[in-house]
């Protein structure tokens, strides 16, 4: 186990996730502290901070200690600040962003390495987020299934979550591009990915962005992919985070999936998010 000297690290489940204490992320942190936070992220895949005050400028400054800020192509609706995404759920919404298991923005040629989500307003209960460990998901597969998947690529697209055909804007307050000039972004990625920092293998598919296995039709791919979608979010691979105003979740997008639980129908849930370029 990593020995931390500048932060406290308290795991919240056996699979992944840890709460970080002893640090104010809005401060100008030294390199050693940032190094420990990054190591905690690699060790636990998603890390959480409580009781933080994170104005937009400090949110961005903290994000940049880990990499360049990724500009999400589908949340560009003419706003001046293109680096910050706001995720809003209001009473009357019948859908929320991220309510299916997914990794973020995997249709990009280089998907973002992570995201930092900060809670501005949360309901008294509900609206939790689930995370799933994709190292464990891969390692729990049989040798035969691992051998089948190694070397295969899957095609990812954002056609289900943006554009006029998706019809998501009619259901929720968090809007995406749906103009006539929108075009899908499509790229292929290995189904089994080797994490660039840890060297461990993990599954890298999800039911939101993955369309089919490269070289197969959607019908031919479906039995394999549907098995993986059900397998990769088994309860023993997951943790659950209960939000409070001032809470932060920082996840490794390369080795996790996450899901926003849509169970706070009469309440407001307002979050601000940056993503870190891959």
Strands (E), the chain: 8-11, 18-21, 46-49, 69-70, 85-89, 114-121, 129-133, 153-157, 186-190, 192-194, 201-203, 210-213, 238-241, 248-252, 256-260, 269-276
pLDDT digits (tens, 9 = 90+) for 230-264: 999 999 999 999 999 999 999 999 999 999 999 98
Catalytic entry in 59, 102, 195, 269: 102
**Tens digits of per-residue pLDDT, 118-154?**
999 999 999 999 999 999 999 999 999 999 999 999 9
Q: Which CATH superfamily is domain 8-276 in?
A: Clavaminate synthase-like (3.60.130.10)
Residue 258 falls in the annotated catalytic set: yes
Active site residue 273: yes
Work out the angle at residue 161's Cα, subtended by the Cα atoms of residues 159 and 167, and round it to the nearest 5 degrees: 95
Reported as a single tens digit per residue, the pLDDT across 69-82 is 999 999 988 888 99
The yes-or-no answer on residue 254 being catalytic is no
51 burial via Cβ count (<10 Å: 0-12, 13-18, 19+): exposed
Residue 35 clears pLDDT 90, i.e. is over it? yes
Using DSSP, state whether 250 is helix, strand or coil.
strand
Domain boundaries, the chain: 8-276
Tell me whether strands 18-21 and 46-49 are parallel, antiparallel or unpaired. parallel
Per annotation, catalytic residue among 59, 72, 104, 254: 104
Question: Which listed residue (72, 189, 258, 262) is catalytic?
Answer: 258
Q: DSSP for 173-193?
A: SS----STT----EEEEESEE
pLDDT at 78: 84
């Amino acid at each position: 186990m990593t020995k931390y000297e500048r932060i406290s690290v308290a795991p919240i489940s056996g699979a992944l996730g840890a709460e970080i204490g002893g640090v104010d992320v809005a401060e100008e942190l030294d390199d050693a502290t940032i190094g420990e936070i990054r190591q905690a992220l690699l060790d636990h895949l998603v890390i959480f901070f409580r009781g933080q005050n994170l104005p937009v400028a400090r949110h961005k400054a903290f994000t940049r200690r880990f990499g360049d800020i990724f500009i999400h192509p589908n949340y560009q609706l003419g706003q001046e600040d293109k680096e910050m995404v706001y995720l809003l759920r209001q009473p009357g919404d019948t859908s929320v962003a991220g309510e299916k298991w997914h990794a973020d923005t995997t249709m990009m040629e280089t998907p973002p390495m992570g995201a930092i989500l900060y809670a501005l307003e949360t309901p008294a209960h509900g609206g939790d987020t689930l995370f799933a460990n994709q190292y464990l998901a891969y390692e729990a597969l049989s040798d035969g299934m691992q051998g089948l998947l190694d070397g295969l690529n899957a095609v990812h697209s954002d056609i289900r979550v943006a554009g006029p055909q998706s019809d998501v804007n009619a259901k929720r307050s968090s809007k995406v591009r749906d103009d006539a000039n929108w075009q899908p972004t499509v790229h292929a990625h290995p189904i089994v990915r080797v994490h660039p920092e840890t060297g461990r293998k993990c599954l890298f598919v999800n039911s939101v962005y993955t369309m089919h296995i490269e070289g197969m039709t959607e019908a031919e791919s479906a039995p394999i992919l549907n098995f993986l979608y059900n397998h990769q979010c088994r309860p023993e691979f997951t943790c659950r985070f209960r939000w409070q105003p001032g809470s932060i979740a920082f996840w490794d997008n390369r080795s996790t999936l996450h899901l926003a639980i849509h169970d706070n129908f009469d309440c407001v849930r307002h979050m601000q998010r940056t993503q870190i370029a891959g």
